Structure 1
Amino acid sequence: ARGLLHAAVTGVSSAGTPGRARIRLLATSSSAIMGWKRSLPLLWTLLLLGLSTSVSEDLPPREPRAVDAPEVVFAAEFAVGELQKLSDSGIYRSLSLRSIRTASSQEGVFHHNTFLTLELACPHFKSGHDAETYDVMVMRHLEDGTYSFAIDEFPEMDEDAIETFWIQKVEQHRRYREETFRQMELDIAEHQTGEGKAGAVSSAEELASMTAEGLLHVLSHDTDASRREAALDVIEGRWEQAGKEVHDELSHMKTSMLHEIASNPTVAEQRKLAAEEIIKARARLLDSTTRSEL
């Protein structure tokens, strides 16, 4: 293979980028070109084989590593964690790392490589065994430090177990979808309730600042029943407050002055009524006091 490859490849330049080769055509006649076209697939295969061999020869040998070294344990746990994500049914989530059998590392062209033989445990292996070993390579990029992994052979799982995991996954998605819609409905209802409360507060504040004429206009023209009811509450509250203020004022007056207010046709009706109530209350109090003395 090296002899055939040498006819088409000048080799890897020592000053150039590792892994790249310069190709030189050996003939320019039409027959030679046709011959090149027929042999091109073979030449590319030989080229890639030669480059792979050349690059692997330039790499340093693998260094054995202790299986309990922190970076080895991290690499193994990373590989298992990534492997657990790779099954559509989710059955690979049942895989776990039982032990690290062997470990070695090698500085590659673009990655620092860690080679591992891992013993994985799972109750759903197709073989029926509770543990199997797999060869894994974890790669850390030399420039950005990102990790990736490769596995020699993916674990084969029991078909019935795969179906069970599929059913569980579909059911889980159904529950998640129902919970998502339920939460959306609660959020919408809460938002609407909040808007209603805010609108009610805003309406109440508006009505409380209205004049008597404005409140009467709401009572006679507004089509919103709740707004009319709120206007009535404002009027009733003002009336009670005004009556209390008038009563407090008149309660300090002499009975003769109260009688003049109650009998004066020009006095406001609310004031006259308050004066009459105070006179009657005083009379009842006087009557009860006289009876107790007798």
Structure 2
Amino acid sequence: MRLRQVRDQLYSWIRQHYIMLGLFLIGLCGGLFTAGIGLLLGILLEPLVQQFLYEKAVTRYLIMADPHFTAEIRPGITAFCGLAVYCAFSEQKGDPEIIQKDIVQHALDLFYFSPSDGPQVELLCRLALEHQQQLNGDLLAESLLARLKDIAAATKTAQVLKELVIRYAPKELWRLESLLQILAPGMERGNENAPWQILGVSPEASVQEIKKTFRRLALQFHPDSLASLNEAQRKKAEESFIRIRQAYREVLSQRLGDES
């Protein structure tokens, strides 16, 4: 009996307030719908926001080598990509895609990354290229050195950078030399492999490979090729070629001596 009275009172209340109740249910459904849309947008946008923040952190690190932004990124390989772009793209010659692929492959090898990390390293190169004019070579070299295991790793990394510059921007060797004083200051002093490193060839290279490399460098350091440089840059480029020519003579003499 009591239950029936409660039910009748409830029905009576609903009949009296059905408009208010209807509006409440509509609002509740609308709120749930809005919450659902918000949740869906959050799920869809979260990766994009994370990617944006990651790229922002990488860019800040490339420009400032800011240690506060190293938690989200891999600073060693990021600094290497920044330095490689800073040097190898300085002449703005050659196919950018080929240069970038070469940098990516060297980065993967140096830092023992798997090929599946290639897209991430390509992103580092792309961001470095987009902000090329803002890159600070000295800061990147210091940051890279701080994250290499030992002198051997620093020397190997410096040699790779030098090979990239000789291959794609040989007139900018002067730009790299100051960075090598930070990254591997002893690379060319007291090192029997120094002439090979200066020339940018392997100690196992054949006479034909050595001559081919030198001819290519000689063409790139020809006065006509240096005409676009200012006086200071031209002087440094000429000094670099003097060292290359001396290294060529030493390397060729050593190789011919080994074969005789």
Structure (1 or 2) with the greater helix fraction? 2
Quickly name the TM-score band, shorter chain normalised.
Answer: under 0.3
TM-score, length basis structure 2: 0.28
TM-score, length basis structure 1: 0.25
Structure (1 or 2) with the greater strand fraction? 1
- Whose relative contact order is higher, 1 or 2, with alpha carbons under 8 Å and at least 6 apart? 2
